[in-house]
Structure 1
Amino acid sequence: MSKKEYDWNLDEPPPRIKPHSIAKQKVYTEYIKEYIHTLNSNPLIPNFNIVIVDAFAGGGEYLTQDNQRHNGSPIKIIETVKATEKTINETRKKQFTIKQQYFFLEKKKANLDYLKNHLKNLEYDKFFDTEIVLQQGEFEKEYKNIIKQIQQKYNENVRAIFILDQYGYTDAPFSVIRDIFRRLPKSEIILTMAVDHLIDYIRDPEQTIDKHPELFDNQKQEEIKVKEGVQFQKTLKDKLDLDLRELSDIKKTERAWRGIIENLLMEKLQLFSNAKFYTPFFLSAENSHRDMWLVHLSNHSQARNVMTQVHWRVANHDKTKMNHYGMLGFHGKYEGADQLFNIEDFSFDQRSKEKMKVKHMEEIPQFLHNKPTAFGDFYNQVANNTPADKEIFKGYMKELLQHKELKIVGKEGEIRRSDIKDSDIIQIPPQMNLFKPR
C-alpha cells in the first residue's frame, strides 16, 4: 500500500481502509484491553498508569469498502482504554482510575491536522496537552523527545506501549528499538511491516542495508555486541547458507519466503532489539497482495502470553487470516535451507491446534526429563517457539497428570491435582525416568 493512499486532507474524504488494517486494529485494541485487565486483576489496585505511543498515527479516520466512516487507531485506542476502565469499575466497590497518556506522532502536517480536527469533532479536544499529545515529525527523529516527556511525567518503569505501524522496513531502525527498551525497560513494541517490503529486502539487501547493517555485517554485529551487550550467532547470510544476492533467482513458494522472514529475520529482530520475548504473525487479507507481518516485542512473559491469547481470539477475523510460519513444537531448530523452504504454516484453526497438541504432548516429557522445572520457568523457556499460551500448556499438563506421566508439586510440597501455578515444580515421575534414554 503506497503512502499516497494514506494521505488525509481536511477538504477531502479520508482514504479507504483495507481488511488487514481493520484486523491490525482488532489486535491492538484486544491486546490493550486484556493487558489492562491482566495487570489490574487485584481489586485492591486503585489506579494504573499507561502510556501509548502511536508513532505513525495517520489522520484517524477512514472509509470502509461500503463507504462507511471508520475510526483509525488513535481513536480506537482511546475508546478501548476508557471502555476498559468503565468495565473494571462495574465490578469494583472502590473507584478504579486509569491515568492514561497518548502520544500521536505523524510525519505529515496535513495528516496531523485531519487527526486533530477529527478528535475535536469527537470531543476529545478537552484532553489535548494533558492526556493527548499531538506531535508532527518522523519517529526516528522524535522518539527521544517523546521518551523524555514520558520520563518527566512518570518514571522509567512506567508501562508504555509503542505501536509502530510503519510504511516500510526502515522507518523504525533496530537501534531505535533497542534504545526504547534501554530507556523504558517495561515498554512493549507492536511492530507491523508489509511482507512485500521484507521480501524485497531479502532479495535485494542493498536497498536498506544502510538502515539495518546488522543483518549482513559481522563487524557491525561485534560493535553492537561490545557496546550494547547484544549476543549474535551468525549473520542472516551465514545462517541461510545461501548468497542473498542470488535468492531473487530462486523460484520458491510464497510460504518459503514467509518462512525465511519469520524464522530468520524474527530471530534477528529479537536479538537486535534486546527483547526477551517476541510474538510474530502474518496477516493475510482476502483479495489482497499486501500481507502484513505483525510482531510483539517485550521483556516479560506475561505480556507475551496475553498477546498470544489475543491472536487465538481474533485469528481469521472477517476477511483476514492470521498465520504463524514455524514448527508446531518447541524443540524445533533451524538446520538448513531445505528445512526452511518446506516449513509448515500454522493457521490458528482447529486442525493446527490438534497438530500442535500432538507435538507438545510428546515434547513436554522430553523437555522435563531429569530436569524438574517451575511451570513459570518452563513457559519462559519455550514461549518464543510456540503459538501455545499458558492456559493451553496447563491443559496439556493436566492430561499428562491424569495419565501419570507428570508429577506437579506446589512450593509447600503439596501434590498438585489441577490448578497449576507458576511456582509449581513440574517433573517426570521417578519410575518413568528409569525408562527414558539418557
Structure 2
Amino acid sequence: MTTGHDRAESTVTFAGIRNQVPGPLLRTIFSQVKGAEVILTFNVDSLITFLSDKEQCRTKLQQIGLDKYIDWRTLENLKNSSPVAWRSAIQRNLARGLVEESGAKHHTIFYITPAGSTSWTYWLVHLSNSFKARDVMMELHWQQANHFSHYLEPDIFTLGYRTNDDEEATGQNGLNLGQAFQFDAIASDRCRAGLSEKLVPLIFDSSQPILFGRLLENIGSSTPATVDMIRLALDPAIRAGDLSAKSKDGKTRAKGTTIHSDDVLLPSPQKPLFFVP
C-alpha cells in the first residue's frame, strides 16, 4: 500500500486482488477519512487468468468479500471468449462488488493502456466520496483519450449481472458483453446523444423539480461523461424550451452550458410528445 504524492494526502493506491484488499478496510477508509480517495490497479491479463482458476479465485475473493458479486456460470462460459467479453465481464462483476463493499459514493472503473510499445492493459478503479474528485478523474480520461477505454454502455451503464446478456434467459446464442469504447470524439458524441435521450425523459417523468447537483449525484458514477458533457447533453432541450433551468434567485438559464449545481431543472409547462437531441 502506498500513498499518492500527486493528489491529496488521503489518496491510497493498491495494486491487484492478490494484495487482498478487504472490503471492510475500504469501508473503514471511506467512513472515517474525510475526502478519502482510493485507487486500485489490476493487470488485465493476470486478472483474466486468475478469474479462470475457479477454486483459487473463489477462495481469494471470499477472503476480500467479493465472491458473492461474481456470476460464476458466465465466467465459465467466457474461458474461450474474446478479450472484449472478458473486460466487460470484469467491469460489470468486480466493479459492483468493489463499489458496494467499499461504501464509496463515487467511482470510475475504466481501462488504461500505457503509452509506448507495451501491449499490456490494466484496470484502473478510482473510489472516492467526492463527486468533484470523480469528475477530475473523468476529465483526465478524456484528455488521455488514446490510452483509456471501456466496455460498457456509451452513456449510462449498469453494473453486475444483466438478464439481457444471459443466453439461457434470452434464448439467444452467445454472450453480448459489450464492445470497446475509446474516450475519443466518436465516443463523446455517442455519450452526449445517449444522455440527451435518457436524461430529458427522466426529468419529465420526475414528480418534482430536481437540482442539477442532485442529478449529478444520482447518475454521475454510472456514466463516462464529465459534468460539462452532461451540461451539453441537456443543452438542446433547454435552448428549445423543452426543459427549464432556474437559478436559486429565479433566473432562467438560456443554455445548458451555464447550469450550476444549485439550479433547478423542470419540464416546460407544455410537455413535448417526443424529444430529439
| TM-score band, normalised by shorter chain | 0.7 to 0.9
Counterpart contact for 2:142–2:183, Cα < 8 Å: yes
For residues 216 and 331 of structure 1, do their structure 2 counterparts lie closer, same or farther at Cα, with a shift above 3 Å needed? Answer: closer
- What per-residue deviation string (whole Å, max 9, x for no partner) do you get for residues 185-242 of structure 1? 421111111112321232224324344213335xxxxxxxxxxxxxxxxx323xx6x2
Quote the residue 1:350 is aligned against. Answer: 185
Counterpart contact for 2:26–2:102, Cα < 8 Å: yes
What displacement does 1:289 show? 4.3
Quote the residue 2:88 is aligned against. Answer: 259
What is the percent sequence identity of the aligned residues? 26
1:293 lines up with 2:119 in the alignment: no
1:426 lines up with 2:265 in the alignment: yes
What displacement does 1:385 show? 1.4
What amino acid sits opposite 1:420 in the alignment?
I
Measure the CA separation in 2 of the matches of 1:205 and 1:403: 54
Measure the CA separation in 2 of the matches of 1:298 and 1:56: 16
Quote the residue 1:324 is aligned against. Answer: 150
Measure the CA separation in 2 of the matches of 1:187 and 1:314: 24
Question: Given the two structures, how large is their TM-score scaled by the length of structure 1?
Answer: 0.54
Measure the CA separation in 2 of the matches of 1:386 and 1:299: 17
What displacement does 1:287 show? 4.6
For residues 211 and 323 of structure 1, do their structure 2 counterparts lie closer, same or farther at Cα, with a shift above 3 Å needed? Answer: same
The DSSP-based 3-state class of the residue aligned with 2:108 is: strand
Measure the CA separation in 1 of the matches of 2:2 and 2:145: 24
Quote the residue 1:187 is aligned against. Answer: 36
What displacement does 1:337 show? 2.9
Counterpart contact for 1:188–1:297, Cα < 8 Å: yes
Quote the residue 1:236 is aligned against. Answer: 70
Gaps of 5+ in 2: 168-174
What amino acid sits opposite 2:226 in the alignment?
D
1:169 lines up with 2:3 in the alignment: no
Quote the residue 1:379 is aligned against. Answer: 216
Quote the residue 1:362 is aligned against. Answer: 197
The DSSP-based 3-state class of the residue aligned with 2:50 is: helix
The DSSP-based 3-state class of the residue aligned with 2:192 is: helix
Quote the residue 1:204 is aligned against. Answer: 53
Measure the CA separation in 1 of the matches of 2:177 and 2:57: 27
The DSSP-based 3-state class of the residue aligned with 1:431 is: coil
What amino acid sits opposite 1:281 in the alignment?
F
Q: Aligned pair count?
A: 258
Q: Which of 102, 113, 132 lines up with 1:284 in the alignment?
A: 113
For residues 337 and 323 of structure 1, do their structure 2 counterparts lie closer, same or farther at Cα, with a shift above 3 Å needed? Answer: same
Measure the CA separation in 2 of the matches of 1:406 and 1:345: 33
What amino acid sits opposite 2:178 in the alignment?
I
Measure the CA separation in 2 of the matches of 1:243 and 1:406: 42
The DSSP-based 3-state class of the residue aligned with 1:426 is: strand
Quote the residue 1:399 is aligned against. Answer: 236
Question: Given the two structures, how large is their TM-score scaled by the length of structure 2?
Answer: 0.83
What displacement does 1:350 show? 0.8
- What per-residue deviation string (whole Å, max 9, x for no partner) do you get for residues 306-325 of structure 1? 11111111222xxxx21022
What displacement does 1:290 show? 2.6
Counterpart contact for 1:203–1:247, Cα < 8 Å: no
Quote the residue 2:253 is aligned against. Answer: 416
Look at both structures and tell me which one has the larger radius of gyration over its CA atoms: 1
What amino acid sits opposite 2:266 in the alignment?
Q
Measure the CA separation in 1 of the matches of 2:188 and 2:153: 12
Q: Which runs of 4+ in 1 moved over 6 A?
A: none
Counterpart contact for 1:174–1:212, Cα < 8 Å: no
The DSSP-based 3-state class of the residue aligned with 1:388 is: coil
Measure the CA separation in 1 of the matches of 2:74 and 2:11: 37
**1:136-175 maps to which residues of 2 (within 5 A)?**
160-164=10-14, 166=15, 168-171=16-19, 172-175=21-24
